[in-house]
Amino acid sequence: MKNRIKVERAEKNITQQELADIISVSRQTIHAIETGKYTPSTILALKIARYFGKSVEEIFSLEEGD
C-alpha cells in the first residue's frame, strides 16, 4: 500500500514522533507505515487522514497486487 504520509508531514512541518504522539502510536509505527512495511488498521488510517484533513483515499492507495 502506498501512502502520502511523509509528504503530508512535510507540508505541516511535523516529525514522525510528533505525528505518532498526536495519534497515540509509536514513532516506529509511523516509520513502518511510511515505508510500506506495515499496513495500518482502518481506525489508524482514519485517524491519520483526519489529522491531515483528508480522506483515507487521499492518503493511502493500493498498489497493483495489494
Phi and psi based region of residue 52 (left: phi greater than 0; alpha: psi -120 to 50; beta: remaining): alpha
Q: Structural domain boundaries of the chain?
A: 2-61
Would you say domain 2-61 falls under CATH 1.10.260.40?
yes
pLDDT of 64 strictly over 80: no
pLDDT in tens, 3-49: 999 999 999 999 999 999 999 999 999 999 999 999 999 999 999 99
Answer with the residue of higher pLDDT: 37 or 63. 37
Q: In the chain, where does DSSP find H-type helix?
A: 5-12, 16-23, 27-34, 42-52, 56-59
The overall pTM is greater than 0.85: yes
In terms of pLDDT, which residue wins out, 30 or 66?
30
- Residue 26 phi, psi dihedral angles, 5° rounding: -85, 160
Q: In this predicted structure, what is the pLDDT of residue 2?
A: 96
